[in-house]
Copies of this chain bind each other. A is one copy, B any other.
Amino acid sequence: MTEQRPASNPVTMREVAAAVGVSVATVSLVVNNKKDARIGADTRRRVMEAIRELGYRPNALAKNLVQGSSRFIGLVADAIATTPFAGQIISGAQDEAWKHGFVLLVANTEGNESAEREAISMMLEHKVLGILYSTWFHRAADIPAALRETNFVLVNCFSPDGDSRAVVPDEEQGGRTATGMLVDRGHRRIAFVNTTTAAPARDGRLKGYRAALEAAGIPFDPDLVLDAIPNQEGGYGCVPDILRQGATAVFCHNDRVAMGLYDGLRQHGLAIPDDIAVVGFDNQEVIAAHLRPPLSTVALPHYELGVAGVRLLLGLDRVEEHALVRIECPPVERDSAGVRR
C-alpha cells in the first residue's frame, strides 16, 4: 500500500519569527492576540505580514499538546449511513461545538461493538474533552466501559441504570401534541397506530395520546389502539381495522406508517383529511412534506438533541448530575389533519 507523500513541511512559527527577526514567543503572542501582552504596533504589523506572506498556519496538534487539552469532542453514532437522523444530531452537535471553538471527531459504528470500542479508544487517545454517545432511535443503551474514562453524555439514548447524563426527545409530550392536533379539530374517535417494537417511543407516545384524550374528556378506548410494524406496510395493513372501529382520525406512530395508511385509505376511496384525518410523527422531510396532502406531524428534535448534548458536555447548561434532559417535539402543521375549528 503506497500512501501519499509524507506531510508537506508546513511553515512553522520559528520560520515566521526568523523572517521577522523576533522570537517565537513574540510571534505566539501576536498569533493568539494575547490581551495582556503589550506588543509594539510595528512589530505586530511586521509579524502579521510575515504570517500572510509565508502562509503560516498554527499547528493545532502542538498547541493542544502544550496546553494539555485538545479542543476535540467525540461523537459516536450507530447509524450515520442508514437514516438522516444521525446526520441531524451530528449537525446540531457540530454547530454548537464550533460555536465554542471545538471540533467534532465523528465515528460511525453501525452497531458494531468492536468498531465502537475502537472508536472510543481513538477518541480517548486524542484526548477529547468528552464524548457524545448517540443512537439513531430513542432507546436504552448499554454504556461501553471505556466511555467512563471521560466525560460523556448520551444522546437519544439513556442508561438503563439512570446513572448517566442523557438527552432524549420528550415522547410523551410529542404524543400529546400529535393527538391534540386531532382533538382540536373536534375528533373524538381517534385511532392510534402504535409500533410493535418495545421502546420509549411506544410507551411515551401512548401515554401522551391518553393524556390528550383525558384532557379533552374523551374516554380511552383500547380498541382504537392498534399495533403495527412501524413502516409503510404496517400502516397500510391496519386500514381495515381502523375503518371497522369507526375512527375519524388517526395518529400514526411515525411518518412512514402514515404513508402506508394514505395508500390504504385511498384504496378505500377515502379522502384525507375530509373523510379521515391523519397525523404522523418524526417529521421525516422526504416523506412528510411531499405526501398528498402534505402530512401534519410532530418533529423529532434531532438537531436540538445534538446541540443539547454538547451544551451538557461543556457544562453550559446547569442541570442535576444524572439528569435525563427531555427535549420538546414540536408540532409541524401541514394539511392532513384538516382545518382547525
Instruction: Report yes or no: A91 in contact with B81, Cβ–Cβ below 8 A.
Output: yes
CA distance A94 to B76 in the complex (A): 12
A333 at the interface (CB under 8 A from B): no
The yes or no answer to A259 lying at the interface (CB within 8 A) is: yes
Chain B residue numbers with a CB within 8 Å of A92 are 81
Which residues A52-71 have CB closer than 8 A to chain B? Answer: 55, 57-62, 64-65, 68-70
Contact B88 A1 (CB under 8 A): no
A263/B287 contact (C-beta < 8 A), A126-B61, A129-B4, A314-B3 known: no
A287 to B83 alpha-carbon distance, docked (Å): 12
Contact A88 B81 (CB under 8 A): yes
Given the complex, which residues of B lie within 8 Å of A90, measured CB to CB? 80-81, 106, 108
Q: Is A163 an interface position by the 8 A CB rule? A: no
A299→B312 CA distance, assembly (Å): 39
Cα(A70)–Cα(B61), bound, Å: 8
Q: A236 at interface (Cβ–Cβ under 8 A)? A: yes
Complex CA gap A4/B303 in Å reads 22
Are A94's CB and B106's CB within 8 A?
Answer: yes
Q: Return chain B residues, CB-CB under 8 Å to A231.
A: 290
| Chain A 20-53: CB-based contact to B (< 8 A → 1; otherwise 0) | 0000000000000000000000000000000000
Contacts of A86 in B (CB 8 A): 87
Q: Are B151 and A290 in contact (CB under 8 A)?
A: no
Instruction: Assess whether A276 is interfacial by the CB under 8 Å rule.
Output: no
Beyond A125-B58, A149-B7, whether A87 also contacts B91 by CB under 8 A is: no
Whether, in the assembled complex, A246 has its beta carbon less than 8 Å from a beta carbon of chain B, the answer is no
Chain A, 258-293, CB within 8 A of any chain B CB: 259-260, 263, 266, 284-287, 290-292
Residues of B within 8 A of A232 (CB): 290-292
Contact B315 A292, beta carbon cutoff 8 Å:
no
- In the assembly, what is the distance between CA of A86 and CA of B94, in Å? 15
The answer to whether residues A91 and B103 also contact, given A290-B231, A292-B263, A314-B3 and a CB cut-off of 8 A, is no
Given the complex of chains A and B, what is the CA–CA distance between A124 and B82 in angstroms?
Answer: 30
Q: Is A322 part of the binding interface, using a Cβ–Cβ cutoff of 8 Å? A: no
- Tell me if A245 counts as interface (CB < 8 A to partner B): no
Least Cβ distance of A27 to chain B in Å?
15
**Can you list 28 contacts pairing A with B, beta carbon distance less than 8 Å?**
A1-B100, A2-B315, A2-B316, A4-B148, A4-B151, A4-B313, A4-B314, A7-B69, A7-B129, A7-B151, A9-B68, A59-B65, A62-B65, A80-B87, A80-B94, A81-B84, A81-B87, A82-B285, A84-B87, A91-B108, A94-B106, A103-B122, A105-B106, A231-B290, A236-B292, A256-B290, A259-B290, A286-B286
Smallest CB-CB A-B distances: 10 pairs: A81-B91, A232-B290, A7-B69, A60-B125, A106-B106, A80-B87, A7-B150, A4-B315, A84-B84, A60-B126
